[in-house]
Chain A
Amino acid sequence: MIRTIVGLIIVLALSVVVISSVPDYSLPSGLQGVGQDYTERGVNDTGSVNLVTAVVVAYRGLDTLGEVVVLFSASTAVVLVLTLVPMGANPTPSSSIVAFTSGVLPGSIVLFGIYIITHGHLSPGGGFPGGAVVASAFLLVMLGSNKIPGKSKLLASIESLAGVTFGLLGFWGMMMFGQFLNNMVLPAGSPGKLFSAGIIPLISLVIGAKVASELSGVFSSYRKAGGDE
């Protein structure tokens, strides 16, 4: 009880601080600084129509490489802990509805995920959402089957290969133009076409493979530890 009240007081004090720090309740007039710059020059610089993908992959490509490393270490920690501490697998058999759905849907979900990844520079999407969609198809397959997955060399090798390819694509730009992850090592093409925007589609593909294999690796080690619903 004391704990609830003290927590409530802390939260209320914090909300008062935040609310009193708002200068005035008006609407912002326009973009300034780097955001304005990206919206004006984005298409000419990168050839990507979707500016979010342009920022993720081209302008902030090095940051994205760092994010991929964070993702890698988190999923490695999950797999490591679950491998070192055996918890006794007891897979519950899936119901017939789940078993039937997991036979029908994953194909089209994977197709949709690949579409999201490859059209990341033209429409909303890119490597991160597409990879998550592909991983959810993998999850559905695993929920429908009653087998415990064995050691999978394929997932681990896709994961490592994608990481190495990301680095190599970065060094390609460094060798040609002296700039890590330079986008113009491939021709920019005409914006709006599928084969355009330099190496952005390639890097989207790499990020998609990386995210999908990391999340699938986490699920498969969960499944090995048993007990998922």
Chain B
Amino acid sequence: MTLLAAASIATGVMMLVAAVAALVVKKLISAIIIVGFVSLSASILFLLMDAPDVAITEASIGAAISTVIFLWGKGKIGGEE
């Protein structure tokens, strides 16, 4: 249980730092990749919460499909802020 607590706290701190970074980082493409990383960390938390079904879904959708959707949007808008 101590190991689980350490894992959840480490993942959670990483996620929160990454989420703030995604909103303040200059380049939009970095922000999109960081949000993909937050989704992947969320799937680790789902696994820690004994929800393997949700973890599979979050890993395949949050990290792969939504990243591609946002990359498409960036390619269409182009430019920066």
A interface, by DSSP: helix, strand, loop or mixed?
A: helix
Given contacts A139-B65, A227-B75, A228-B72, contact A132 B53 (CB under 8 A): no
The contact of A87 among B51, B60, B65, B76, by CB within 8 Å, is: B76
Number of interface residues of B (CB under 8 A): 17
Contact between A116 and B76, CB atoms less than 8 A apart: no
Contact status of A132 and B61, CB under 8 A, knowing A50-B53, A139-B68: yes
Q: Which bracket fits the contact residues of A?
A: 20 to 34
**B72 adjacent to A229 (CB under 8 Å):** yes
Most A CB within 10 A of own CB, among B51, B57, B65, B71:
B57
User: For residue B61, which residues in chain A have a CB less than 8 angstroms away from its CB?
Assistant: 132
Q: Mark B23-61, 1 if CB is under 8 A from A, else 0.
A: 000000000000000000000000000011101110011
Q: 0/1 per residue, B1-18, Cβ < 8 Å to A?
A: 000000000000000000
Q: How far is the CB of B25 from chain A (nearest CB, A)?
A: 15
Contact with B along A186-220 (1 / 0, CB 8 A): 00000000000000000000000000000100010
> Which of B53, B61, B68, B69 is the most central at the interface, judged by chain A CB atoms within 10 Å of its CB?
B53
> Which of B's residues lie within 8 Å of A, judged by CB?
51-53, 55-57, 60-61, 64-65, 68-69, 71-72, 74-76
Q: Could you list 6 further interchain pairs (A-B, Cβ under 8 angstroms) beyond the known A124-B52, A132-B57?
A: A52-B53, A87-B76, A124-B56, A125-B53, A135-B65, A229-B72
